[in-house]
Amino acid sequence: MRNILYNVFRDVLMNKKQNSRQRNLTLLRLTCAVLAATSFQARAEAIDDARTDATKPEADQSIAATTVGQWTGAWTRGTLLGDMGGLRSGLAQYGINLGLTETSEYLGNVSGGTDKGFVYDGLTTLTLTMDTSKALGLQGGTFNVSAINIHGRNLSELNLSNLQTASGIESDSGTRLWELWYQQSLADNKYDVKVGQQSIDQEFMTSTYSGLFVNTMMGWPAVPSYDLPSGGPAYPMSALGVRLRAHPTDAITVLAGAFAGDPTAVNGGNHNGTGFSLHGGTLWIAEVQYAVNQPALGQLETANNNPDEPPHHSGLPGTYKLGMWYHTASFDDQRNGTDGLSLADPNSNGSPQQHKGNYSIYAVADQLVWERDPDSAQGLAVFGRAMGAPGDRNELSFSFNGGLSLKNPLPGRDNDTAGLGVGYVRVGSGDQGLDRDTANFSGTWYPVRSGETFVEATYQAQVNPWWQIQADVQYVANVGGGIPNPNDTTQKIGNELILGVRTNITF
Amino acid sequence: MALSLFKLLPLSLVAGALLAGPVLAEDVAPGLLPGIHKHVLQTSTVPDNGDQNPYALIIAPVSAGPIQQGDVLYDNFNNAANLQGTGTTIVDFNPTSKKLTTIANLSHELPGCPGGVGLSTAMTMLKSGWIIVGSTPSNDGTTRTKGAGCLIVLNPQGKVAKVLADANINDPWGNMAVKDDGDKATLYVSMAGFGVGSPDGEPPVFNQSTILRINLDIPEGKVPEVTSETVVAGGFGEQADKSVFLVGPTGLALGEGDKLYASDALGNRISEIRDASTRTTSAGVGRTVTKDGLLSRPLAMVMTAEGHLLVTNGLNGKVVEVDPVSGKQLYAQWIDADKAQVPPGNGDLFGIVMHPNGKSFYYVEDDVNTIVLAQ
């Protein structure tokens, strides 16, 4: 632990891009949580040392109970703040669960990019969830409201100019309402409907195993991030809408929803999340999920009492998803104007041709491919997500990410996870044509964008039940699809090596 | 010709039914689990003080104080901060009104109970109205600071009448098996704390767990008196555990012929202890009734009306039905398929009890603090 902290501090101090005040602020933010956590461990160990050692035979006969206070067992329990002095249990009486998390990270590129250096960024999420059966006597209802505070600086914007941005939490700083919805389950949980302001990256296109990774596109993928207005209703955005979910069989789940088309289509750009936009068309989205080798409630198995037969084990669990979305708004052609000229033509009227509607088809696969034994958490999983959209009206026509996730990778590290992932995006045909036109009309060197690839390796250590530390390395090739470096327009942006550490704390 | 056919048809149907009868009867699989098709959420279990992790689950045999006969009683192992071994509440759930009533909210620092109070799966309510509950306490949520605990005798109003603590009692852990004759009762309790220390690193397995028989006299209107304590079995494995506090023998159930059945979690087997009520010496780990197969760290256990054992698994969300006479495992049913754990339902199923109708059963899902009725 001390070595990790030492290395983090050394990196901070060696960062020449920050002035001393920024450095101090970053140090303060990053280390507050870390040192606070370690002090709890020290405190817990000190308390334990002061007591009788229970490992001695029958010493526990003489152990005395001590008062259980706010900080008792702070190191071993599930949340750093426990009952919060009675707040959580008080809210629980009304069926309300309070969640508070912090994700902080220190990321930087040591090679490539438009600039070099490390920056801090973080995300605080406050969530209140109410079980209406306890609060109001209304069975099957859940009310959820959440707010987020994004702090720090955005490495991808500052230094990288990459398409597949380095961190899923980096965004414009500020505090905003995130989600605000009510969900009602029906017919013995066979159906449920969710109404309100929703961030659909929480339910659609999700991958069980990709969530480990730090890169943005391992969360909400690149195609909807670039091709939907304002990136679609996904973190840090959300949109008003209705979502239906059905479980026609134990193995099949169907999701379908309709959402306001542009979360930012309100005065002021909806910076605080309370704009509740209903403008910008409608986003329709549907997804079918198929679960394999996953137990269903009530599933009966018959015993094999023949000792000569090997025990029967069902196959390894996996989930496969197929979905599509359709957006009703008009979308700009990426190459041609309404006058039939290329938008790169100096004679162009600058008004893009319009396409009615936009759409994408996607597929997601999560599959455990190896496990030590059926009752073990140790296992290796593969995942992959691929999606496409028309290239004439979208910046990206294809995106893919996939990888491996290994749980319990080292002896005694049951809850750690190691991962190796890759991501690829392809720039749409319209934009590629525009690049060619730009080169032709300008008569100078101008690269035609193609694809961008990144590889990510990460290791997430579960320090205790409420604290994770994650080391991360990313390498980005053909940055931005091959765009010129703004610092030297005769060169493409150099491939980037990104290093970082992230910590997650559940308060 | 047509007339005779009409006459023959009913006769042939009756004859066919008679012939088919025994065949169909043989085709109908015995046991409880094939008839279980619904799993109905009964209640969230968190009482007003925020205690979590429901463990023991019993049915009130009589009405006494605020408790109605047929009510479901449960205790909580964790406090509001979700620290194991610090829960102090016993709660009554009325299945008709769906109302929760906190029967007892004990002090963690209960005098006379080494290490204090952290209520375990060992609990019973006697016909005389007395409640007896086990404490497997901790000061920090782990076995590092665990005490030996005690058995606590309470009246139906939840007032502590007596604390039982002695050298035979070290972390009363598993669900109790009870023979209750009104003025006398025999309790069987597994003790899973002997020698167990810190969960750090790779904690060793101690084969020191015991099953203690406690004979009680229950004079009319007086607090039960212990007349004898006998270790009837011992040598079961027990081990500190970071996530589930400790692993040890958890389920006990009495069967025909004075046999006591125990779920040996680490041995992954069901053991049989003969002459349970009369033996004066330990039977060791007893005779293995069944082992491995569908079992995966067997935990809570209960006897069905048919004489089968229902055993919950600790490492997945299944309940296993076992015929203890033949030693055959019959079925397993997923009663907790929650994918939040790997494997689903891992470590959730600590409490199980038969419904008074004998056809269905209640169980706890301790990770989400709920009681479910399987019917």
| Cβ separation B81–A77 shorter than 8 A | yes
Task: Tell me which chain B residues have a C-beta less than 8 angstroms from the C-beta of A134.
Answer: 44
Q: How confident is the model at residue A47 (pLDDT cuts 50, 70, 90)?
A: very low
pLDDT at B78 over 80: yes
The pLDDT value given to residue B309: 98
Does B334 lie at the interface with A, CB-CB under 8 angstroms?
yes
pLDDT at B352 over 70: yes
Query: B274, B272, B259, B320: which is closest to B295 by C-alpha?
Result: B320
Task: Tell me which chain A residues have a C-beta less than 8 angstroms from the C-beta of B343.
Answer: 374-375
Q: What percent of chain A has pLDDT over 90?
A: 76
* DSSP per-residue codes, B197-261: ---SSSPPEEEEEEEEEEEEE--TTS--EEEEEEEEEEEEEEEEETTTEEE----EEEETTTEEE
Which of B28, B46, B82, B313 is the mutation pick for testing A, counting most A CBs within 10 A? B82
Query: How many CA atoms does the CB half-sphere of B164 hold within 13 Å?
Result: 26
Q: Which of residues 243-302 of B touch A (CB under 8 A)?
A: 292-294, 296-297
Check: CB of residue A166 under 8 Å from CB of residue A248. Answer: no
The pLDDT value given to residue A41: 53
Is the pLDDT higher at B367 or at B7?
B367
Is the pLDDT higher at B256 or at A41?
B256
At B273, list the tokens: 């202890």
Tokens 């015995």 belong to which residue? Answer: B30
For residue A483, the Cα-to-chain-centroid distance in whole angstroms is: 26
| Cβ separation A303–B331 shorter than 8 A | yes
Instruction: Tell me the helix, strand and coil percentages in chain A, rounded to 5.
Output: 20, 40, 35
| Cβ separation B330–A301 shorter than 8 A | no
Which of A61, A136, A206, A250 is the mutation pick for testing B, counting most B CBs within 10 A? A61
pLDDT at B16 over 50: no
pLDDT at B116 over 90: yes
The pLDDT value given to residue A311: 60
Tokens 């999606």 belong to which residue? Answer: A387
Chain B residue with Cα closest to A61: B148
The continuous run of DSSP H or E covering A178 comes out as: strand A174-186
Q: Which of A60, A77, A295 is nearest residue B193 as measured by Cβ atoms?
A: A60
* ipTM of the modeled complex: 0.85
Which of A52, A75, A292, A297 is the mutation pick for testing B, counting most B CBs within 10 A? A297
The pLDDT value given to residue B97: 94
Cβ atoms within 10 A of the Cβ of A109, count?
29
Does B38 lie at the interface with A, CB-CB under 8 angstroms?
yes
Query: How many CA atoms does the CB half-sphere of B345 hold within 13 Å?
Result: 27
Mean pLDDT of A109-132: 97
Question: Which strands sit side by side in the sheet containing B252-255, from one edge to the other?
Answer: B252-255, B259-264, B269-273, B287-291
Tokens 């005395």 belong to which residue? Answer: A64
Domains and CATH numbers, chain B: 34-374 (2.120.10.30)
Check: CB of residue B153 under 8 Å from CB of residue B110. Answer: no
The pLDDT value given to residue A58: 58
To the nearest whole Å, the CA of A58 is away from the closest chain B CA by 6
Beta bridge partners of B303: B309
Beta bridge partners of A419: A405, A458
pLDDT at B24 over 50: no
| Cβ separation B146–A54 shorter than 8 A | yes
- Mean pLDDT of the residues in chain B: 92
Task: Tell me which chain A residues have a C-beta less than 8 angstroms from the C-beta of B196.
Answer: 54
The pLDDT value given to residue A236: 96
pLDDT at B21 over 70: no
The pLDDT value given to residue B66: 97
| Cβ separation A48–B145 shorter than 8 A | yes
To the nearest whole Å, the CA of B213 is away from the closest chain A CA by 20
CA distance A270 to A237: 9
At A251, list the tokens: 């193995």
**pTM over 0.80, yes/no:** yes
Mean pLDDT of B281-310: 96
Mean pLDDT of A371-390: 91
pLDDT at A372 over 60: yes
Question: Which strands sit side by side in the sheet containing B89-93, from one edge to the other?
Answer: B52-59, B72-78, B89-93, B100-105
At B248, list the tokens: 């040890």
Q: What does residue A274 show for φ and ψ, rounded to 5 degrees? A: -110, 20
Task: Tell me which chain B residues have a C-beta less than 8 angstroms from the C-beta of A51.
Answer: 139, 145
pLDDT at B212 over 60: yes
| Cβ separation A61–B329 shorter than 8 A | no
At A136, list the tokens: 């109001």
Sign of CA dihedral B81, B86, B87, B89: negative
Whether the bond into B47 is cis, omega within 30 of 0: no
pLDDT at A371 over 50: yes
| Cβ separation A303–B294 shorter than 8 A | yes
| Cβ separation A66–B292 shorter than 8 A | no
pLDDT at B33 over 60: yes
Domain A2-51+69-293+315-506 coded CATH 2.40.160.180: yes
The pLDDT value given to residue A353: 98
List pLDDT tens digits, range A433-480.
999 999 999 999 999 999 999 999 999 999 999 999 999 999 999 999
The pLDDT value given to residue A182: 98
| Cβ separation A294–B110 shorter than 8 A | no
B226-231 contacts: CB < 8 A, separation 24 or more? B226/B164, B229/B166, B229/B168, B230/B279, B230/B280, B231/B168, B231/B282
Is the pLDDT higher at A233 or at A60?
A233
Which of B53, B168, B315, B342 is the mutation pick for testing A, counting most A CBs within 10 A? B342
The continuous run of DSSP H or E covering A449 comes out as: none
Q: How confident is the model at residue A313 (pLDDT cuts 50, 70, 90)?
A: low
List pLDDT tens digits, range A229-274.
999 999 999 999 999 999 999 999 999 999 999 999 887 788 899 9
